[in-house]
Amino acid sequence: MDNLDFVSDSSAICEIQIVNKAKEVETFYLTIKGKLLDSIRIDKDAFGCFNITTDRSLLQLDTKKSKSRLLFFKDKNRPVKILFGGGREFLVEGSKLDSIWRVAVSIQDSLIKNVENCASRSSGDSAFISVKEKYENWCFNEFTSMLSKDTILAVRFLNYHVLNLRRITFVSPIYTDSIIHLVAKFNPPNIDLLNDLTSLSRLRLGSQMVHFPFTSQAGDTLNTSEFFMSQSGDKVLVDFWASWCKPCRAKNKTLKERYAALRERNIQILGISLDEKAPAWENALGEDELPWPQGLIPGSELKKIQRVFNCYAIPCSLLFSPKGELLLINPTIEDLLIN
């Protein structure tokens, strides 16, 4: 990002100004909650303006080639400058909250980097756990510092960050509980965030499986409690996925290749799809030809299941003991084969 220079133009006074430093023509889409607010097409080294009026401070910027969204904070009646460097490279300038938000983004980037650096380690490895403990301590300290500076921003960050905590294999209850304690004091209360955090706090190693209904491939309505009881002492890997999720489909292939080895380790898989439409799920099953049982969550239960298991981002998998105790969160194949 250091090689991006802002193209200054005093005549371009607008609420949101885009500066394209990428070597390509690009179209930008400004959206909020999926609703298109504006779009603009600009050439290399050109700038364009989104002239919008909104009291919303959390906006999304999409490009035609990338569906990933840039989250940034827009202060009402205050111009914002965005430098686009191609791909996912964005730099936001001009927001009163930008400096604090960059801290939030650095926390998230560090999370992903630490997880990826430790991806080849076992979740029980002492070095792996040390990295997680260090990161969680840093994250908690940064959040509480942010909270003292700007409560609203801290809540926005936490709403974004909590969805990514699923990527941490080791989650320390002390930090989760402390954040819940802080959020519970907010006035007015943020019920949705508090519920998400509470659900996350329950998702700890040793916690009990929360059973739920699902529809089988045969069209029958079953319950995970029945499935667990039918496994004759096997561990159960509950694997959340969807037909439209490319990483999930790739994971399906890997699990299929190692399925025999997993069964030798007394591990059974229960695939649970987050697809909203049964035909898409059925087509994916036909293409992937998966040998383990599969289920589809009824539409009325989908949001509840996502909250309980924090499976907003997929693939997401949880390994349970025969008695329904949580053993591992998002284990790798190596984790599964050595446990």
Q: Cα–Cα distances in Å, from 182 out to 143, 158, 176, 193, 310?
A: 10, 12, 10, 12, 20
Q: Distance (Å, rounded) from C-alpha 131 to C-alpha 260?
A: 33
Per residue in 204-217, pLDDT tens? Answer: 778 899 999 999 99
Most confident listed range (14-28, 192-206, 261-275)? 261-275
Q: Tell me the CA distances in angstroms from 132 to 111, 115, 118, 234, 242, one per residue in order.
A: 9, 8, 9, 29, 28
What pLDDT shows up at residue 290?
A: 95
**Which region among 131-140, 141-150, 321-330 has the lowest average model confidence (pLDDT)?**
131-140
Average pLDDT over residues 297-324: 87
User: Is this structure's pTM higher than 0.85?
Assistant: no
- Give residue limits of the domains in the chain: 16-95, 99-202, 213-338
CB atoms < 10 A from the CB of 320, how many?
A: 21
* Residue-averaged pLDDT of the chain: 77
Measured distance CA(116)–CA(169) in Å, rounded: 12
241-277 pLDDT, tens digit per residue, is: 999 999 999 999 999 999 999 999 999 999 999 998 8
- Contact in structure between 197 and 176 (CB atoms under 8 Å): yes
What pLDDT, on the 0 to 100 scale, is given for residue 102?
60
Q: Is 255 exposed, middle or buried (0-12, 13-18, 19+ CB in 10 A)?
A: buried
- Confidence at 123, pLDDT banded by 50, 70, 90: very low
Contact 307, 162 (CB under 8 A): no
202 vs 29, more confident:
29
Residue pair 20/26 in contact by the 8 Å Cβ criterion: yes
The pLDDT value recorded for residue 179 is 77
pLDDT of residue 153: 61
Q: What are phi and psi of 161, to 5 degrees?
A: -75, -35
Average pLDDT over residues 28-54: 80
More confident position, 331 or 321? 321
Q: What is the pLDDT of residue 243?
A: 94
Class of domain 213-338: alpha beta
Note the pLDDT of residue 2.
38
Closest CA to 66 of 31, 28, 123: 28
pLDDT at 196: 72
When mean pLDDT is compared over 167-181, 190-204, 251-265, 305-319, the highest value belongs to: 251-265
pLDDT above 90 covers what percent of the chain? 27
Average pLDDT estimate for 125-130: 56
The beta strand positions in 51-124, using DSSP E, are: 58-63, 70-73, 80-86, 89-93
Report d(CA 52, CA 37) in Å as an integer: 8
Q: Look at residue 169 in the predicted model and tell me its pLDDT.
A: 42
Instruction: Check residues 26 and 110 and name the one with the higher pLDDT.
Output: 26
Cis amide bond preceding 315, omega within 30:
yes
Task: List the beta strands (DSSP E) in the chain.
Answer: 16-20, 26-32, 35-42, 47-50, 58-63, 70-73, 80-86, 89-93, 213-216, 221-223, 235-241, 267-273, 294-296, 316-320, 326-329
SS3 150: coil
Question: What's the pLDDT tens digit per position in 168-182?
Answer: 444 566 677 777 888
pLDDT band at 119, cuts 50/70/90?
A: very low
* C-alpha torsion sign, points 160, 162, 166, 167: positive
**Across residues 4-11, what is the average pLDDT?**
45
pLDDT mean over 72-90: 76
For position 201, what pLDDT does the model report?
73
Highest-scoring range by mean pLDDT, 70-84, 156-170, 207-221: 207-221
